[in-house]
Structure 1
Amino acid sequence: MPMTELIYESDPDDPDWREVASDEESQGDGDKSGEDGDDEEDVVESGDDGEKSEDDVNNAGDDGDNNGRDRDVEPEASRRKAKRKREESEVEEDNEETQRKREKKTNVEEEDDIVERFEFEIEESVATWFDEFRINRNSIPESSDEEEDPIIIRDRRIRMGIDDKLGIGRTFFTAFEIKEAVLHHALKSRENIRQERYGKEKIGFRCGRDKNCGWKVYCAFDKSKQLWVLRTKCGYHSCTPNGKCKLLKSPVIGKLFMDKLRMDPNYMPLDIQQHIKEQWKLLSSIGQVQRGRLLALKWLREEYAQHFAHLRGYVAELEGSNPGSTSIVDTFRNADGEDVFNRFYVCLGAMKKAFYYCRPIIGIDGTFLKHAVKGCLLTAIAHDSNNQIYPIAWAAVQTENADNWLWFLKLLKADLDLKDGNNYVIISDRSKSPGFLVNMLMQPS
């Protein structure tokens, strides 16, 4: 039998037999049994023909007994060492797991503590909270300085609210101006306000929805100043706006939309109602809007009549502010003996002087007036050195006819000193009246 099949490793009946160690243990003990391994390799490699003498066999047997005993001791130590390492590693893992659980528990406790502390602070704040006393503008707060004059405090509050149109101490010339300021405040803040006090020297406003609401404004006439003074104001509403305002009545709607109706008389009530809803977030009935529109149109007609009554004052203002100007108002008497407007001519002095620096070209034309005031507008223009339009004179007449054109051209010829017109070119729209009148007017007398 070859020497590699020793009974120490294969025969379990032998008294010196031991269990073969695992590959890891045999590898771990490889260093310690290195010398024995060398002896075994020498035994395997010895012998050229694979046979040994009896002495060699006996010697090998003795060596095998010694090696077997050494091998029994070494695996037992390695096993104990490996077991001790495993136990140490298990203990370390248990310690790490315990430490992680302890840290996790600590974090959870800290979070719970923060949440509990936060809830406690909220409950404490709610328990100790109280509503502060509201100081209205008509009450003076108590001062820690007993020597401070209450009048000084009131003046300071007036200066602090000087930008407020409804601040205490604000002055107004008329009661109408006060109503305009309150209306502006109501539209801006979208609050329901009504007028509760009417009088020659007293006027007041309150909340228009709730009688118990504290908002109010009171003004009185000061005889020493000859002005209306705002005495009392409480600018806090305890109620909720309901989308209505009792100050928004038909006359107010008419005044608000006069400019719009002046530019567009066909602005309908539904358009006005929609504009109020979108602009100020307030509701108005269709009846209020219709009455307001009719009032506005009536006021516009009266306004045009008043404008014609101020024409002579306008003429005086033109001649005083612009010397050398020519402005003529032509009127005629009606059956009642009243002066009625007929035609109006204007040629400013500055433009009259600057015409001599323009090109010798004059253009005349007329156009119809299509707004509330009907009539016709006659104009005369020139070209300056930059070849741009330069207005010279204009006239407002009732109709475009030969009589009105002749009157306009005579005044234009006198203002510009055209004489016979040989050095000028006059351009018209080739209608019969202006062309014929120009030829007739420019002939030498």
Structure 2
Amino acid sequence: MGEEVQVDAVVEEEVDGVEEVGGVLEEMGDVDGQVEAKEVEVRSWNSSFENGSGDGNFEDLVDVNVGCDIDDDIRGNFEGNVEVEVQSMSNESSDSVSSDSMFDVNVEGGNGRGLSDDEWESEHLVSGAESHEEDTDVKGYGSFATFVLPKSMLDFKWEVGTYFAEKQDILEAIKSYALDNGRNIHFVKNDKQIMRFKCVGAKGKCPWRLYCGYMKAVKTWQLRTILDNHTCSREFNLKLIDSKWLSKKIEKSIRENPTIKGVEIREKVQRKYNVGISRCMAYRAKNIAREQIDGSFKEQYKRLYNYAHELLDKNPSSTVKLKVEDVGGEVVFKRFYVCLKACKDSFKSCRPIIGLDGAFLKGKYGGELLTAVGRDGNEQMLPIAYCVVEVENKESWRWFLELLVYDLGGPEICSSFTFMSDQQKVILIIIL
């Protein structure tokens, strides 16, 4: 492909008239951009004039402005042979001077938007501020892929220029890489602009390094430098792994088996990833995973009022009581009583026998569950009412039974019922 350009030549020899020099630049590749070659040396051409004078030799510097297109994907320096056809015309007659010559031209392309080796290693992030247009700044970073966490990072190959949407994505990638490959990777620097990691395996002699920087113009993180070469062996204990991150890995196991023990979690992690974790880390990871699945206990207790109103809304004429107390200016849960309307009506067709019992709650905050059950005509158990209290004692049983008797029609009706308990002598004192 050839481009016609205007070449202005100024010759300092004594030549009659002013010469116009035209040139044709033939490209040696597919280029698309703006290139400027300022000094091109044009050596000797022969000239014959109308007066029949002898040949003249000229040697001087010619300023050449070259305009051509360079592909956005091509950056850097270009060096090669450029063929220029030069024609010289005198003012006097139709005699002309022409010369074809081949010479070497160093063409410097681009505007420095590519990242050199020094820029990759530098901690000073260049964000394209040299450009006067914002869109030019964004294009200066090039087109690179955005990181997507794969299912497994075993023998993963890092690529320079990869984008990370968030800082957390880098941490997730590094921890997954360390866990799957058994590499003991540590933080070297971690701030708002720079993140550096290194492998401390082989007693700190492993050359593996990774450096990411924040790109202000595109508001994202980018992998700037990677020395992806490990000379260390696989390690069993990894310090980069923590319980919060590990909880995401075992969340599926907790969903399948909520009662899984910490020892089983340790064995499962060791078999799957070939790394070891402490007993405390296993229990902390389990608790965090359960909180992610079921929600926080504190947040659930805060919504007890909403739960009570929802029960009354869906079960009209039911009885729901919530008792709290003020401790140091904070509202603290104490007791919760529920007797649904359907259960009260169903008890009318049951035998006049009520069983009372209590059980420990094994949740994070403990407590006691008090229940009252009956037996219907089909010899099936019918729950009448239940209550959650802080502890099983005389006061809590009194509070529960008073509400139960009121829901069943009062003392006169309940006096004909038979109450059974599991050696709860305190109940006899309250009833009698």
Give the TM-score normalised by structure 2: 0.44
Q: Which has the larger radius of gyration?
A: 1
Higher relative contact order (CA closer than 8 Å, sequence separation 6+):
2
Give the TM-score normalised by structure 1: 0.43
